[in-house]
Amino acid sequence: MIEKKPLRVLFVEDLPTDAELAERVLRKGGLDLEPMRVDTRESFLAALEEFRPDVVISDYSMPVFDGMSALGLAHARDPNLPFIILTGSMHEDTAVECMKAGAGDYVIKEHITRLPFAVAEALKLQKSRRASAEAASGLRESEERYHALFENSHAVMIIIDPEKRTIVEANQAACDFYGWTKETLLGQKMTVYNTLAEDEIERNVDRAISMRNHHFILKQKRSDGSLVDVETHSGPIVLGGRPHLFSIVHDISERVAAERARDDFSSRLDHYLSTSPTVTYSMRIKDGAARWQWASENICGLLGYSLAEVLAPDWWLRNVHTADRMQALGGISKLTTKGSFGQEYRFQRKDRGIVWLRDEMRFVQSEHSDAEIVGTLTDISDRKSAESELSLKSQALDAAANAIVITDRDGAIQWANPAFEALTGYPPGEVAGKNPRLLKSGEQGPEFYRSLWDTILSGGVWRGKLVNKRKDGTQYTEEMTITPVVDESRAIRSFIAIKSDVTERELSEARIRASLDENSVLLREIHHRINNNMQLIISLLSLSSQKIADSGLQKILGEVSRRVMSMSLVHEQFYSSPDMARIDFLLYLRQLADGLSGERGKSRDRIAIAPGSDAVLLTLEKAVPAGLVAAELLSNALTHAYPGGDSAQASVRIALRRVGARIELSVRDEGVGLPKDYEAGMADSLGMILVHSLANQLLGTMEFRGDKGTEAILRFPSE
């Protein structure tokens, strides 16, 4: 019994209460859920990869993320992933926009009881879409496999119009075999290459059309007039609503010659069988049944059976692979007319393993004894594996999306895959024997190509980008890797080049760079304007302070002005910094110290940066609160540490250190120190309340030490 898994539902919602309400409605609707809630782009992308939701339910509008953005990210990963928009209210045009973008449905929170129905319908739609996509993919793959099999097969394949007795289609192997070009071969009458009489050709065509598969052995003519022994397998197919004849032609001239040679040397066969490392055997045919009479002892090592097991009546037929059994039996039947026959089939070893065997058989008929089959078995598993691997690699190269070109040592093109034509416009046959320089655009100079050849001729792999020209004259940018291929003596025999069209990527990167430059200028201008506005505020506060007689109010305005000044310095740093993301906080502290010392105008107020302080880069989000804390601590030290008047020894020292994954900012003075009853968390002054609040904002802590003077330490995470 298959265990039903709970439905993984990903809620994209910034309000936990709304997500919990939707979850309760779904459970009440009978759904078994495994929920997860996210509210940012980063957490959403992580959930898509790790949580792998079955359904996404997203709020349409959120402060830092929105439903349409989530929909785009989700469908970039899986276009069929069910996605439902959940919103407080939605205009009809907005709803249509969501559905066009790929949302399975939208539900207004006022009607949230519809949510279980919307989820069920979205899952049904996903199942339907995937079924349609799989069906279309299967048909396309079937057509591609047939085309690849026909065009790239080494077997000679032709299609014949049975009414006109002419060739209507042929693969490249057929052109090579008969010696005609494809244009000449198409339309040829069967009498041109067939040695049979016309009436016999007609009978054979009619017989093949009426049967599923018909087999012929005959002689055929090539374009130069030479005759060759062939074996054809023909059967009917339907093209354009009409029956046609599909034939596969095998050149068996070598096999026929080998059979004649074996007949010529039949007197030496016994000696060969007794000394050959291959398995030899004989079968007696009596009353229509064939039974093994003898086998060489090396069959035990090849197949694992004892001689007694081999000589059992049904041993051979029982262990021939089921899929090859009819073919193997057919080979024996051919012996009665041909005298000898060779075939290949799979055979089961005693340990249940499968081996490929080449079975060469000869039929021996004697007047005084039963008919006998004498044969040899050779293990060809390694050859079959190699052939399968070569076939697979050949198909992979042909199917590769990247253009692949093989040249000789001098650069003449020996082979190119279909993707090369898609990239350059040149068919592989058109560029055979030519140099890849036909793609040169003139954008690269001689030094570029000299460096390339120096690299690959020395045995190195060259990687790079260059601009080339297609057959139609348009230019494109490609990334190319050229790898030398060496022979057994380590001499370079050829080169393999793999090409990728990166034109669109280059254009996209250029557009992104331009956009980033524009954004950088805009952001720098924003910091500049904020700084100017803050400077204006500082001036207004200063003017207001001069016109106020109340010293307490003047002090408050001064503190406000100092705090605005500390924030203004941050924006001035970002405006001046080449890195718009972070500023050098140590440089900021130096400028802050200079500003506060100048504001005080007293020689005793000496603020110094501690030796060995670390250069720390902070984002805007961390620099502003950290700067406010530093300004507050420095102002407190300058105001309260030395109440007794001027002193040559009076000083305040700032230290900035990176300690592991945390930043440590300390402000230390040698003044009167903290009161004995001072408790940092209980301080009620606005400055101390502000310091602790900003430390919490930074996810950090404040520590105050009063052993000798006062040291205030702010610690917060660097990231």
Kindly report, residue by residue over 510-545, the tens digit of the pLDDT.
Answer: 776 666 555 555 555 555 566 566 666 666 666 666
3-state secondary structure of 376: strand
Per-residue pLDDT at 340: 85
Kind and range of the H or E run holding 341: strand 340-348
**The model's pTM:** 0.33
pLDDT, greater one: 266 or 564: 564
Compute the residue count for the chain.
Answer: 719
Position 368 scores a pLDDT of 60
Whose CA is closest to 27, among 11, 6, 47? Answer: 6
Q: Are 380 and 344 in contact (CB under 8 A)?
A: yes
- The answer for residues whose C-beta is within 8 angstroms of residue 91's C-beta and 6 or more apart is none
CATH class of the domain whose range is 153-251: alpha beta
**Nearest 10 degrees: Cα torsion 89, 93, 97, 98:** 20
Q: Residue 193: how many CA atoms within 13 Å on its side-chain side?
A: 25
pLDDT at site 347: 92
Class (C level, CATH) for 256-386: alpha beta
Q: What is the pLDDT of residue 274?
A: 43
Residues β-bridged to residue 498: 404, 481
Lowest mean per-residue pLDDT among 64-78, 95-109, 275-289, 353-367: 275-289
The pLDDT of residue 152 is above 60: yes
Average pLDDT over residues 323-340: 83
Quick one: pLDDT at residue 514?
A: 63
Between CA 374 and CA 20 the distance in angstroms is 82
Hunting for tokens 């120190």 — which residue is that? Answer: 673
Whether residue 603 is predicted with pLDDT greater than 50 in this model: the reply is no
Q: Which of 437, 375, 386, 442 is nearest to 410 (CA)?
A: 437
Least confident of 24-38, 58-72, 129-143, 673-687: 129-143
pLDDT band at 604 (very low <50, low <70, confident <90, very high): very low
pLDDT for the residue numbered 569? 67
Average pLDDT over residues 560-585: 67
Greater confidence, 319 or 636? 319
CATH (one of 3.40.50.2300, 3.90.190.20, 3.30.565.10, 3.40.109.10) for 582-719? 3.30.565.10
As a whole number, the mean pLDDT across the chain is 80
Q: What is the reported pLDDT for 544?
A: 67
Report the C-alpha gap between 456 and 294 in whole angstroms: 60
- Any idea which of 201-205, 314-318, 685-689, 690-694 has the lowest mean pLDDT? 685-689
pLDDT at residue 1 in the model: 45
CATH H-level superfamily of 7-132:
Response regulator (3.40.50.2300)
What does the block give as tokens for 716?
């917060």
pLDDT of residue 715: 92
CATH 3.40.50.1000 holds for 400-501: no
Candidate from 8-22, 147-161, 291-305 with smallest mean pLDDT: 147-161
Interhelix angle for 381-399 vs 115-152, to 10°?
Answer: 110
pLDDT at 53: 92
Rounded percentage of the chain residues whose pLDDT exceeds 90: 5
Q: What is the mean pLDDT of residues 659-675?
A: 85
Euclidean distance between CA atoms 366 and 282, whole angstroms: 14
pLDDT value at residue 717: 92
What is the tens place of the pLDDT at every residue in 383-432? 888 888 777 777 777 777 788 889 998 889 888 888 888 888 889 888 88
Cβ atoms of 58 and 86 within 8 Å: the answer is yes
pLDDT of residue 489: 84
Angle at 103 between CA 91 and CA 8, to 5 degrees: 125
- Selection from 374, 290, 377, 278 nearest residue 333 by Cα: 290
